[in-house]
Amino acid sequence: MNRLHKDLNILVNRVEAWELSRVSAGPWRQKFHLMPPCGWMNDPNGLCWRRGNYHVYYQYSPFNAGGGLSFWGHWSSPDLLRWTQQPVLLCPDQPWDLHGVYSGSALVEDDTMYLFYTGNVRHWGDYDYINEGRGSNTALGVSRDGIHLDTKAVLLESKDYPPDISNHVRDPKVWKQDGKYYMALGARTRKGHGEALVYRSEDLRHWEHINVITTPEPFGYMWECPDLFQVDGQWILAVSPQGIKPYGHIGQNVYSCGYFPFYGDFRGEYTLGEYRELDSGFDYYAQQSFAAPDGRRIALGWMGMPDADYTNPTADFGWQHCLSVPRELHWADGGLTAWPVRELEQLRRNARTIEFSGTVQRDACPTLDLELENHGSRLTVALAGAAEICWEDGLLTLTLDEACGSGRTVRTADVHKLRSLRLLVDSSSLELFLNDGEQVVTSRFYPGEPCYLRLEGEGTAKLYDMCAMEMKTIQ
Ligand code: FRU
């Protein structure tokens, strides 16, 4: 690799070592979620399995907890429980990616990793950076081991995209099918409509534009992080659309993260089913999925939201954001379900069963896993005066206490019938899976101690403490 790549890697290492004590002094480091060693994290990138290890790359700004120049940070693990920090793999070290190596995906073939990403360039000048002034270069990094980069090259530049497309084109998701390679790219048209461009290649290097996937009526101005995949025989287009008009309970956040059931052929005629959000909480965006070696479709999302007006107090300790737990996806009863991967059950300790009718209160570890069967017509699950989940009259409400929400207040979801609920609580996040994962509510929050759990209603719950995953850092 080039000299700049090496120097940037050394610099990142030194910054990480320097920040270590500040970061670890803070109260809200997560126990079973992937975080940046220091600095800022956003989207999961390049999710894959290669020769006995899962690889999770991510958007990483090591120099600034408030975000900045992006690299691809890297965690690897043999089992989704024991993680090792690896050196940054992609650095902004070329004229065509110097303002950030943006999001993308991995394709593994013959043990070689092909990493598709967007090289972001902001040209110097008086531009709007929407239709002019921005380079969004689709690039390919090749690595024989996922840790060292062998080569990097540009595949598509702004001039290669269809003429009606603005400068906002990014987040290549690549897969192989019927002996050919396909790529979905998130795009914004010059008229300000979101869509996904579909490309095809025979050799991973030459790409031909073959289709556009979009809604009959405009749905937002930009679709970030498209992910087109099949699960249980159903095609899904997951996207993070920006600029949709809120309707019903959809669009409570500044940007959305959801999916369309996809019918037809992505290479030709198709129709999109009804859009649904993947998550109704404050902090879930840029989901990416991949195929695990045992056939599971696993997804991770960024537990954050771009341009949100709420904050994260961890920035004062030199780091910000984390990823969701890996979630296994299924297509069931006409909808996508998401459920924490079964590996996480190995982190459970100290199981207790709680049968309740009325109100019960229990001491609870700050990190917990609660599985609850609901038998009543209303239910409240409250955490230490920090967060309250209420279900009544077909409506689910998550309310965060003012001091703990850091600007987050209330989110709601239509939940006609609540049969069951699973709540995963880490030091500074909660993930709520309703009715076997038919709906999910994800949020960061910043509780103080001590911690207790209050249940109100009727049901049976199993409560576990959650212990920490192993997260080995480079230092
Ligand atoms: C989504 C996103 C992507 C982009 C990346 C830059 O959060 O805006 O579209 O590639 O973040 O960090």
pLDDT of residue 209: 98
Q: What is the distance in A from the centroid of ligand 1 to the CA of 103?
A: 6
Q: Which residues have CB under 6 Å of ligand 1? A: 42-43, 59, 70, 102-103, 118, 170-171, 224-225, 285-286, 306
CA of 296 to the centre of ligand 1 (A): 26
CA 103 to ligand 1: nearest atom: 10
**pLDDT score, position 297:** 98
The pLDDT value recorded for residue 471 is 96
How crowded is the C-beta side of 22, counted as CA atoms within 13 Å?
A: 16
State residue 272's pLDDT score. Answer: 98
Distance separating alpha carbons of residues 322 and 306, to the nearest angstrom: 13
Q: Express each pLDDT in 22-39 by its tens digit.
A: 999 899 999 999 999 999
- For 175, phi then psi, to 5°, come to -150, 165
The ligand 1 atom nearest the CA atom of 302: 7
Beta bridge partners of 336: 331
Is 111 catalytic? The answer is no
Q: Residues near 126 by Cβ (< 8 Å), separated by ≥ 6?
A: none
Catalytic residue among 43, 171, 279, 401: 43
Q: For residue 60, what pLDDT is reported?
A: 98
Region 318-345: what's the mean pLDDT? Answer: 98
Mean of pLDDT values over 204-216: 98
Percent of the chain with pLDDT over 90: 96
Q: Per-residue confidence at 316, pLDDT binned at 50, 70, 90?
A: very high
C-alpha pair distances (Å), 201 with each of 45, 184, 208, 209, 260: 21, 12, 6, 9, 25
Average of per-residue pLDDT across 122-149: 97
Q: How confident is the model at residue 1 (pLDDT cuts 50, 70, 90)?
A: low
Pocket test for ligand 1, best of 40, 58, 59 (most atoms within 8 A of CB): 59
Q: CA 169, CA 196: separation in Å to the nearest integer?
A: 9
Predicted confidence (pLDDT) per residue in 162-186, tens digit:
999 999 999 999 999 999 999 999 9
Which of these, 425, 423, 426, 424, lies nearest to 396 by C-alpha position? 423
pLDDT at 385 over 90: no
For residues 56 and 323, is the Cβ–Cβ distance under 8 A?
yes
* Residue 43 CA, closest ligand 1 atom number: 7
In this structure, of 110-119, 291-300, 403-412, 443-452, the range with the lowest mean pLDDT score is 443-452
Average pLDDT, the chain: 97
DSSP-based three-state secondary structure for 23: helix
Which helix H or strand E contains 25, and what residues bound it?
helix 3-25
pLDDT surpassing 90 at residue 276:
yes
Across residues 452-456, what is the average pLDDT? 95
Regarding pTM above 0.95, the answer is yes
Mean pLDDT of 192-211: 98
Distance 439 CA to ligand 1 centre (A): 24
CA of 473 to the centre of ligand 1 (A): 25
Evaluate if residue 450 carries a pLDDT over 80: no
